[in-house]
Amino acid sequence: MECQEEKPIIYTMENKPIVTCAGDQGLFTSLYTSLAQQLPREPMEWRRTYGRAPKMIHLEANFVQFKEELLPKEGNKALLTFPFLHIYWTDCCDTEAYKSTVKEDMMRWQNSLRTHGSADWVIIVVETNDTKKKNKTNILPRSSIVDKIRSDFCNKQNDRCVVLSDPLKDSSRSQESWNSLLLKLRTLLLMSFTKNLGRFEDDMRTLREKRTQPGWSFCEYFMVQEELAFVFEMLQQFEDALVQYDELDALFTQYVLNFGAGDTANWLGSFCAPVRSWSGLLLRRPIDMEKRDGIQRGEASLLDLRSYLFSRQCTLLIFLQRPWEVTQRALELLHNCVQELRLLEVSVLEGALDCWVFLSCLEVLHRIEGCCDQAQLAANCSHTVGLWAYATDKLKSLGELCGLVSEKGPTSEDLNRTVDLLAGLGDERPETVNSLQSPYKKLKEALSSVEAFERHYLELSHAAMEMYRAIGRLRSARLVGKSLAEFYMRKGDRERAETFLQEALKSYVSEGWSLPVTHTRKQIAECQKLLGRTEDYLQTSALLAGDVNLTTEERKHFCQEILTFAGKSGDHSNKVTLSMGVFAQLTRLQFHPATASVHSGAILQVELTLRCLMPVSVHIQQVAASIHFDVDHGGTHGRSKGAQRQTNPGTVEFIQGNSSAGPPSSSAAGPSLELDEIQDRSPSDNSLNSTGVVCKNTHLIMRRHDSNSPPDTPNCVSPPTVAMKEGAQMLKVQDVKLEPGNNSIIFTAPSGQPGTYTLRQLCATVGQVQFVLPHIYPSVQYEVYSQEPQLTVEPLSEPLLAGLPQMVKFTLLTGHYAVKKGDALQLSNTDTMPILPSTSCTARTSNPAAELVGESVLSIQSSDKVTSISLPPTPPYHTLEFQLEVLCIIPSGSDRPANERLTNGEVRHRPRSYSHPDTPMTAIDQRMSIDCPWSIYSTLLALTFYIPFKTKHSLLSAGNRKYIQVCVQNVSDVNFTLAEVKLTEKQHASLELQSLNTKEQQLLCSKHSVFCLWEVRWKDDLPSCLQCVFSANFSPLNQDVSAFKPFHYQFQLERVTTLYSVRAEILPPAGEQHCRSGFLCGLEVCITRLTEPAEGEMAEESKTDTDGLKTTKLMYEVADSSSNWAVCGKSSGMVSMPMTANATHKVQIEVMPLFAGHLPFPKIKVLKYLPHTAAVAIQPDPDSCVENDSLSLLDKTLDDQGDTASIRSRGSVHSVGSGDQQQKGVAMPRLEPFSPGQVFNHSHARQVLVLPATDDHIMEVNAT
Amino acid sequence: MAVCIAVIAKENYPLYIRSVPTQNELKFHYTVHTSLDVVEEKISAVGKSLGDQRELYLGLLYPTEDYKMFRKLHNSFTDVMCNPFHNPGDTIQSKAFDGIVSGMMVQTG
């Protein structure tokens, strides 16, 4: 801090508001110390004008002796020298003395104040006991002097006269008196501040409003407002002080901007003077009086004004403990000054501003370092780093300007320039003369020699980079690094330069900034070329040659660099391998044929689309793709795999990262899913076990994404080491000319061995240079397969109907087998499916692409056992198709031929008929055995035929007469015509079957039935067993007569003869003509034996009675299922029938009709009763009575008959239980039904009229 | 008035960048790229302070003695992003956006 002895006003923060003291100086001096100490002790609230927030403020004062000169003259705007309060001190207690001298003195004092318009005064009367004691004689009441003074001076302002009692004593009274005095003084001071500052501010504003008037001067105004700032500073209101400077700053800035916009102010002229001094900021003095004087005189340059203004702001900010704002403002100021000088078109020596900025940066940094400790500095380097970087930048440009960066050193011109620049710095300021590291010294030293410059520049650069790194501003650090690299390049140190450039490039590439990438890469190329790093240089050149940001000329240049190198003749060790991506991009790959799957030996072409990035067309000696070969163990089934995998078969599109360092497209965020369908088939029958979808490139998709990892771009900073793997097989094309843009290259792929061929790498050779694509991704492969010949037979139309000629299609995939002339297929003939000879049978041959290549007529020769089909010669991997007509003979009924052997010795499989779940038709699997020329084994093929008909037969009786009915149901979807319906009996020639069918031909529509009826006539005896054959011819509707095919149905009827006739009569109650409901009537059942017992019957079920008469036991039962009748009493019973013709048995049963009307007769069943003694040897043949289930009969009739329940249960036990031993152990009687036709019921379906019981008025009507 | 307008993707690559004195384009690219340091700093600072203080204006990003750099231009960018045919992440190629940018720029020959 400095002191100005000669000046009364001290421009430091030591300034205090001036308070003048008049009157008794001795008195004041005695009190001064405690007054000065105590005044600032308590804060006072300062209420402000213009809505400013009130502040608590500690008041201090500089007490000076009153002199008339101190009072401001009219028009004097000085505020610092302004006395804010005037005090008159007196300890007079003597009226006389007062009247004689003091009053007069006061009057004078008051007058001089009044003339200067100052109303801020106070009179302090000090009372001490000592003074009272001294003047005891003239003592007056204490108040009287004060009162006098008040009445004399304080006109209605009694507060302007204060009493201080016993100030030097340590009593409570004294303290109280002091306190009130201090309070009074503070209040008055504040009042004075408010009033005087307010007036000053008003004046200042008025002055500011005049700024548009000509003759207004910014410098003048500056001084006025700064006065206010000084006062605030004096009052320690630094914030307010700063506001004053900021306002001045803004005002000035606005003027400069207006100047730029064409609005010139006259006073700005002085600031437009050429800059002569660039000594930088000076922040070590609180007030730079030198500059301030310059401003006051209106001689300051722009830099002076700015420097002064900033130094004041800096001082205040540091008072406010905001050093980081200083650095921020400093950077803004420096930028601003440079711009303002440019805007005002001030002429500046080249480099002078750089000096100024450099010095200023360092000065600010020094100033900040001076008021902060190291830890603070380190923690806040984000605030200072800008200044460091700026200083670095400026030093670099100074170095360049002064020839300190070149390899040769400065020229004389450079030296002259340096001298001029140093001259503008002037002498070092006294403050820093003794400091070793002052900015001034640094700059002087740096400009003095190349070495010193390098030292200083590197020091600064590294400091800036370190700081940027420390705060994570890596981009900024790299930019500084890049600038450093440029320096190194100028110095010829390319190695270091490249390191920095590569680092910067990495960042630009990873973030996709194409222009910086191009620029930096160009610089790298220069380094690499000079360093002789051929491979790197060529790689970079290739990248640059394909860089669209460069001009065509530049690109051609770099392309030529590569071609020149490539053209150099040299030994092979000199070959250079570069990444393909920089030279050309593989965009598409197409297979011809598109399935990418051919049989061995076939031609497969691969078409590559290469997008050449070079600006000119390039002649390539060889393009080669290496192939990885996998023997395909999958064998013949590989064929479908290749085609399924690609959505667009045969074409693979390669998604590229963008050409040059464009933005990494969003697709680069992740590779797309590659899905593949998998099917797990059972190895035995090729049926599907499971199916699913698998992702083939999970390793790419599922990998962890590094948040910082740069997206993949082809522009790797340093090309990956690529090596061309020498594969056994290569696709090669010689001498290709690649034009800029898309080029198509066609390879013929090797397809010798069956297996999978994967394209791995691609390599383009240009002389000494090889461009290698190390991985072709997504992986591309094609398959070569070898296939066994395959013969399949399939129906031409579904379903194949048995009994009719049907076309079947034979398909022969020749596979690797070439069908020679004379090759024939040998079909073993079967009886059940003869192959129908046809006049013309053509075979169609088609190539693998399913194009028809030939047709020829087949010759078919049939012998007994074998049908031979001669095949036309067919090349491998072709398809041969022909059709044959076959007929599957419908198996007729119970035909059971013995197993036969086929011609080839195989056991003939009898076609088994079975019912198919999908169709009502019965299916027959018909197997074919074919001997093929390519195999020693027979090929077995199966065809499924469906029988279109279902046939049923039934025996009908009328008394002794017998009828046979056959029902043919058409279960197919085809309509047929039936003709020549015939029924024959095979064993009994005497038997005559008289047809009752009238129509010759019968239409049999789909899902309909035809019934045919024959009456059986016989001469002697009706055989108990009939072997019948139903035969008919059928053909699909509307077909020729020749199309009729026979249909046979064999069946056997047993126990045909009628043994018993049953007659029932219903007898009305006695005396009644008709039955009445609710009244009992009689049911007479008459069972008559019709025939003599046949032989078999005798043995089977008769027993000889004791009297020798042969009888058989029958059981009858009456049951009414429809609840029309109530059977009263026994409903069933046993009769013993003599086994003679016309033996009759009558049974009387009481029944009661339950309803009126024509009621059907109750049903009467007759069953065989086999007593327990009877041998149960013969089980009924299950085949013979399929339709008649004994159990169902029993169930139906015996259900709720209490008394027969035991029989039924016993019977059921027997019919179900099947062990003979069980029967022997517990011999039980059992029931057996008669075969249909053995019992004829005369009264079947007869009805009887039943009258209502009484005149029943209730009639039940059922309307349905 | 602006001399250079850049829209930067969140991955820090330029979606759009245009400057008026075209001869200085490279310098602008460098500058804009470097200013991303400050952008990152400011954005992460916003993330840290709790509450929804979504101050879109980031202030002075990179002071140079030549130009001042700010971040502005949001509405038009929103429009571009609303274009159903625009694939977010692609570079911006929109005439309307171009026009608005031109309006913000100094028209110096």
Identify the CATH number of the domain defined by range A571-631+727-786: 2.70.50.60
pLDDT of A1060 over the 90 cut? no
Report which DSSP code applies to A78: -
Q: Which of A436, A453, A411, A77 is nearest to A231 (CA)?
A: A77
pLDDT tens digits along B63-86: 555 555 445 555 566 666 666 666
Q: Do the Cβ atoms of B63 and A386 come within 8 Å?
A: yes
pLDDT of A1163 > 60? The answer is yes
- Sign of the Cα pseudo-torsion (A1094, A1095, A1101, A1103, in order): positive
pLDDT score at A76: 66
Which of B37, B65, B89 is opposite residue A476, by nearest beta carbon?
B37
Q: How does DSSP classify residue A614?
A: S
For chain A positions 304-363, those within 8 Å of chain B (CB to CB) are 331-332, 334-335, 338-339, 357
Strands A1075-1076, A1247-1251: pairing is parallel
pLDDT at position A648: 53
Question: What's the average model confidence in pLDDT over A226-245?
Answer: 86
Higher per-residue pLDDT: A327 or A148: A327
What pTM, to 2 d.p., does this model score? 0.60
d(CA A30, CA A667): 90
φ, ψ for residue A276, nearest 5 deg: -115, -20
CA dihedral A865, A871, A875, A876 (to 10 degrees): -20
pLDDT tens digits along A517-548: 999 999 999 898 888 888 888 888 888 888 88
Does any CB of chain B come closer than 8 Å to the CB of residue A1079? no
Q: What are phi and psi of A663, to 5 degrees?
A: -65, 140
State phi, psi for A968 to the nearest 5 degrees: -105, 120
- Listing DSSP states for A845-877 in one string gives EE-TT--EEEEEE-EEEE-SSEEEEEPPPB-TT
> E-strand spans in A288-439?
none
Q: Does B13 touch chain A (CB under 8 A)?
A: yes
Fold of A1058-1093+1111-1169+1230-1255: Immunoglobulin-like (2.60.40)
- Mode of pairing for the β-strands spanning A576-579 and A769-773: parallel
Assigned fold of A949-1054 = Immunoglobulin-like (2.60.40)
- Buried/exposed A536-564: b ≥16 CB within 10 Å, e otherwise: bbbbbbbbbbbbebbeeebbbebbebbbe
- pLDDT, position A875: 85
Question: Which residue from B minimizes the CA distance to A479?
Answer: B34
Please list, residue by residue across A1211-1229, b when 16 or more beta carbons sit within 10 angstroms of its beta carbon and e when fewer do: bbebbeeeeeeebeeeebb
Higher-confidence residue of B99 and A727: namely B99
Query: CB distance from B33 to chain A under 8 Å?
Result: yes
Asked whether the predicted pLDDT for residue A725 surpasses 70, the reply is no
Band (A485; pLDDT cuts 50, 70, 90): very high
Instruction: Tell me how far apart the terminal alpha carbons of chain B are, to the nearest angstrom.
Output: 15
Is the pLDDT assigned to residue A155 strictly greater than 90? Answer: no
| Residues listed for chain A | 1264
Mutant choice from B11, B64, B70 vs A, greatest count of A C-beta within 10 A: B11
Question: For chain B, what is the radius of gyration of the CA atoms?
Answer: 14
Query: Is domain A790-892+917-947 annotated with CATH 3.20.20.60?
Result: no
Fold agreement between A790-892+917-947 and A949-1054: yes
Please report the pLDDT score of residue B77 as a whole number. Answer: 60
What CA–CA distance (Å, rounded) separates A36 from A14?
14
Q: Does residue A410 or residue A1224 have the better pLDDT?
A: A410
Kindly report the nearest CA distance between residue A612 and chain B, in angstroms: 23
Q: Does the pLDDT of residue A458 top 90, yes or no?
A: yes
3-state class of A303 per DSSP? Answer: helix
Q: pLDDT above 70 covers what percent of chain A?
A: 83
- Residue A515 has its nearest CB partner, among B25, B37, B87, at B25
Kind and range of the H or E run holding A811: strand A805-813
What is the domain partition of chain A in residue ranges? 18-132+142-210, 218-403, 571-631+727-786, 790-892+917-947, 949-1054, 1058-1093+1111-1169+1230-1255
Q: Does residue B55 have a pLDDT over 50?
A: no
- What does the pLDDT read at residue A462? 93
Residue with tokens 């002259």: A416
Confidence of residue A770 (pLDDT cuts 50, 70, 90): confident
pLDDT of A1063 > 80? The answer is yes
pLDDT at A853 over 70: yes
Exposure string of A1002-1029, with b = 16+ CB inside 10 Å and e = fewer, is: bebeeeeebebbbebebeeebbbebbbe
**Looking at CA atoms only, how far is residue B53 from chain A in angstroms?**
23
Q: What is the pLDDT of residue A303?
A: 87
**Terminal-to-terminal C-alpha distance of chain A:** 129
pLDDT band at A1146 (very low <50, low <70, confident <90, very high): confident
Give the pLDDT confidence score for residue A28 in this predicted structure: 82
Averaged over A179-198, what is the pLDDT? Answer: 85
What are the pLDDT digits (tens) for A244-272?
999 999 998 888 888 877 777 778 877 88
**Residue of chain A nearest B30, judged by CA positions:** A516
Contact B15 A334 (CB under 8 A): no
Which DSSP letter does residue A934 get?
T
| Integer Cα distance of B16 and B18 in angstroms | 7
Question: Which pLDDT belongs to residue A1103?
Answer: 55
Q: How confident is the model at residue A465 (pLDDT cuts 50, 70, 90)?
A: very high
CB–CB of B9/B15 below 8 Å?
A: yes
**Closest CA of chain A from B25, distance in Å:** 8
Which of B13, B38, B64 has the CB atom closest to A513's CB atom?
B13
Please write the tens of the pLDDT for every residue from A553-570.
Answer: 999 999 888 888 888 866
Quick one: pLDDT at residue A464?
92
Of the given ranges (A4-13, A443-452, A612-621, A1169-1178), which has the lowest mean pLDDT? A4-13
Contact (CB, 8 A) for A1058 and A1091: yes
Point out the residue among B14, B29, B65 whose CB comes nearest to the CB of A334: B65
Across residues A1103-1119, what is the average pLDDT? 70
- Per-residue pLDDT band for A895 (boundaries 50, 70, 90) equals very low
Tell me the C-alpha distance between A1084 and A1147, whole Å.
6
Any B CB within 8 A of A569 CB: no
Model pLDDT, residue B86: 60
The answer to whether A475 contacts chain B (CB < 8 Å) is: yes
CB contact A663 to B (< 8 Å): yes
What residues does A1158 pair with on adjacent strands?
A1249
Q: How confident is the model at residue A957 (pLDDT cuts 50, 70, 90)?
A: confident
- DSSP 3-state helix, strand, coil percentages of chain A (rounded to 5)? 35, 30, 35
Contacts of B65 in chain A (CB under 8 A): 334-335, 338-339, 357
For residue A1088, how many other CB atoms are within 10 A of its CB?
A: 18
Residues in B touching A515 (Cβ below 8 Å):
25-26, 29
Separation in Å, CA of B16 to nearest CA in chain A: 10
Amino acid identity at B91: T
pLDDT at A1261 over 60: yes
Nearest Cα of chain B lies from the Cα of A335 at a distance, in angstroms, of 4
CB A724 within 8 A of CB A770: yes
Asked if the Cβ–Cβ distance from A664 to B91 is below 8 Å, we say: no
A1257 or A79, which is more confident? A79
Q: CA quadruple A482, A484, A489, A493: dihedral positive or negative?
A: negative
Angle CA(A85)–CA(A91)–CA(A96) in degrees, nearest 5?
A: 120
Tell me yes or no: is domain A18-132+142-210 CATH 3.40.50.
yes
| Contact of A360 with A280, CB cutoff 8 Å | yes
Pick from A114-128, A181-195, A657-671, A1077-1091: least confident: A657-671
Average pLDDT over chain A, rounded to an integer? 78
- Banded model confidence at residue A1230, pLDDT cuts 50, 70, 90: confident
CB proximity under 8 Å: B 70-109 to A: 87-91
Q: Residues 6 or more apart from A442 whose CB is under 8 A from it?
A: A362, A456
Q: Whose structure tokens read 């008003």? A: A202
Compute the average pLDDT of residues A291-297: 85
